[in-house]
């Protein structure tokens, strides 16, 4: 592991424009379950039930969605950034970080101190809810309090419209600006570091490959193997917090491989 850590330190040193690409695995050490690991969200719930088309087409689907969301939001609400999030803040301070592209909706990069303008939330955010009719926006906390008081399907208190968290559901259109900017920046970086993603969900999972095909070096830090491991310059199968801590220590210590 130490040798792999040093190789990543060297790659960061040689780079001017580094992108950090994160998934749910960067937040499990903050107590938020990921999706596809044993005990993950999709081991408890069937993702087929949460497609956008189902959500907007039936009250029953919305009730099922909000039941899952009410449970999923609690660990997000109480979570604190962990060592991996803090390491990304440290990387930003080196001036080499171009941006953080995250699939996460937990706002933990920003809460750790990453500059909000450097964080691209590809799958939206869980901290706000919008009416799909009048676009009124609510803090998630408010809607969570409705749900905890027994409301089964929250409705807009202005127009009666359907309320939905500002996250991107399966089958829902990706946010155009965030998606376009992520691919554009991936084409212009010289190093992309994946932290905690199985890299199975598209189009997000194509972003690291876009960077590599544009000449950037690819590093993957993930507890389990991913389908993209063979494309990476360095692959570290280990815990995000510890690995990122050691990489930043190596970078700061100035020791060479
Ligand atoms: N350190 C390193 N890796 C970890 C850790 C950890 N502490 N905990 C989990 N992992 C790894 C797991 O091995 C797994 O491969 O993180 C990965 C998380 O993968 P997924 O659960 O598939 O999450 P993600 O890749 O973010 O999913 C993408 O799918 O369900 C949708 O919209 C949702 O944004 C999400 C998207």
pLDDT for 98 beyond 90 = yes
Q: Which atom of ligand 1 is nearest to the CA of 40?
A: 21
Going by alpha carbons, the residue nearest to atom 10 of ligand 1 is: 25
Q: Ligand 1 pocket, 224 CB below 6 A? A: yes
Active site residue 237: no
pLDDT in tens, 5-18: 999 999 999 999 99
Going by alpha carbons, the residue nearest to atom 17 of ligand 1 is: 197
Q: Ligand 1 pocket, 106 CB below 6 A? A: no
Separation of CA 136 and ligand 1 centre (Å): 31
Q: Ligand 1 pocket, 25 CB below 6 A? A: yes
121 strand-pairing partners? 102
The confidence score (pLDDT) of residue 41 equals 96
pLDDT for 255 beyond 90 = no
pLDDT for 99 beyond 60 = yes
Separation of CA 26 and ligand 1 centre (Å): 7
pLDDT in tens, 55-81: 999 999 999 999 999 999 999 999 999
Average pLDDT over residues 142-169: 98
Confidence of residue 257 (pLDDT cuts 50, 70, 90): very low
85 close to 112: Cβ distance less than 8 angstroms: yes
Q: Ligand 1 pocket, 34 CB below 6 A? A: yes
The confidence score (pLDDT) of residue 148 equals 97
pLDDT for 146 beyond 60 = yes
Strands 119-121 and 97-102 come out as: parallel
When the pLDDT of each residue in the chain is averaged and rounded to a whole number, the result is 97
pLDDT in tens, 101-122: 999 999 999 999 999 999 999 9
Average pLDDT over residues 227-238: 98
pTM, two decimals, is 0.97
pLDDT for 129 beyond 70 = yes
Give the phi and the psi of residue 46 in degrees, each rounded to 5: -90, 115
Task: Report the C-alpha gap between 93 and 87 in whole angstroms.
Answer: 10
Residue with tokens 């570091």: 193
Give the phi and the psi of residue 43 in degrees, each rounded to 5: -90, -20
Q: Ligand 1 pocket, 36 CB below 6 A? A: yes
The confidence score (pLDDT) of residue 103 equals 98
Query: Could you tell which of 20, 36, 220 is best to mutate to test the pocket of ligand 1, judged by most ligand atoms within 8 Å of the CB?
Result: 36
Give the phi and the psi of residue 200 in degrees, each rounded to 5: -115, -10
Separation of CA 35 and ligand 1 centre (Å): 6
Q: Ligand 1 pocket, 24 CB below 6 A? A: yes
pLDDT for 256 beyond 80 = no
Task: Report the C-alpha gap between 33 and 27 in whole angstroms.
Answer: 8
pLDDT for 92 beyond 80 = yes
Check 85, 109, 123, 228 and give the catalytic one: 123
Q: Ligand 1 pocket, 124 CB below 6 A? A: no
* 3-class DSSP assignment, residue 5: helix
């Amino acid at each position: 592991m130490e040798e792999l850590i040093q190789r990543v330190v060297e790659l960061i040193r040689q780079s001017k424009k580094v992108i950090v690409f994160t998934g749910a695995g960067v937040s499990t050490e903050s107590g938020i379950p990921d999706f596809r690991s044993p005990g993950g969200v999709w081991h408890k719930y069937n993702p087929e039930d949460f497609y956008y088309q189902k959500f907007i087409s039936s009250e029953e689907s919305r009730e099922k969605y909000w039941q899952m969301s009410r449970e999923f939001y609690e660990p997000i609400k109480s979570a604190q950034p962990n060592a991996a999030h803090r390491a990304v803040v440290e990387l930003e301070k080196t001036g080499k970080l171009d941006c953080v592209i995250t699939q996460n909706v937990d706002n933990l990069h920003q809460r750790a101190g990453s500059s909000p303008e450097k964080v691209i939330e590809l799958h939206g955010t869980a901290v706000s809810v919008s009416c799909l009719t009048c676009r009124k926006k609510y803090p998630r906390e408010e809607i969570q309090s409705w749900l905890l008081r027994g409301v089964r399907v929250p409705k807009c208190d202005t127009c009666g419209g359907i309320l939905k968290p500002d996250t991107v559901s399966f089958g829902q259109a990706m946010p155009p600006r965030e998606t376009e900017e992520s691919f554009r920046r991936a084409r212009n970086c010289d190093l992309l570091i994946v932290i905690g993603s199985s890299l199975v969900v598209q189009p997000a999972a194509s972003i690291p490959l876009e960077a590599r095909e544009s000449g950037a070096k690819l590093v993957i830090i993930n507890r389990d193997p991913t389908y993209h491991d063979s494309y990476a310059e360095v692959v570290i199968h280990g815990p995000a917090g510890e690995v990122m801590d050691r990489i930043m220590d190596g970078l700061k210590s100035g020791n060479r491989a």
